[in-house]
Amino acid sequence: MKLTTCLWFNGNAREAANFYASIFPDSSIQDNWVAPTETPGNKQGEEVVVNFSAFGQNFIGLNGGPQFPHSEAISFQIPCADQSEIDKYWEVLTKDGGQEGQCGWLKDKFGISWQVISPMMMNFLGGSDGQGAQRATQAMLGMNKINLAELEKAYLGK
């Protein structure tokens, strides 16, 4: 058994699913459900649900209407292997209306919140050198996109 995350969209679930399937590995569009009759929020023949996967995780894109916008209360972490991967995901997720946030957080053009981070970052923030971890944390607080080289320099006191 696996959990499936349902993401509520305002009529653009298909566009979001296609976007995520195009940028994340192990991703695909599986199927959809079209309203056979008029339903609350959808007319007959409109796509209500798009089932897709991203990073091998199952998602449901639900065209539910404008009632429930996305917020930072829910976010998805992308654990990047290195700076080039951070740069790649940061670029693609912030373009076309995405918004940069602080400390590696961003919102994509659909309003979904992401944390583009690295396990290496967590090594600096939680490292055994308490003063180094404090310096790295202060450096991170001044960043939007995570810069691993700057975090390392801060951790080492350089």
State the Cα–Cα distance between residues 101 and 93, nearest whole angstrom. Answer: 12
pLDDT computed for residue 42 by the predictor: 82
**Cα separations (Å) of 51 from 19, 21, 110?**
13, 11, 17
pLDDT computed for residue 41 by the predictor: 78
The low-confidence residues of the chain, meaning pLDDT below 70, are none
Q: Are the beta carbons of 8 and 68 closer than 8 angstroms?
A: yes
Q: Are the beta carbons of 9 and 47 closer than 8 angstroms?
A: no
In order of start, what are the domains of the chain with their CATH numbers? 1-65 (3.10.180.10), 72-158 (3.10.180.10)
**Residue 23 φ then ψ, to 5°:** -110, -20
pLDDT computed for residue 40 by the predictor: 78
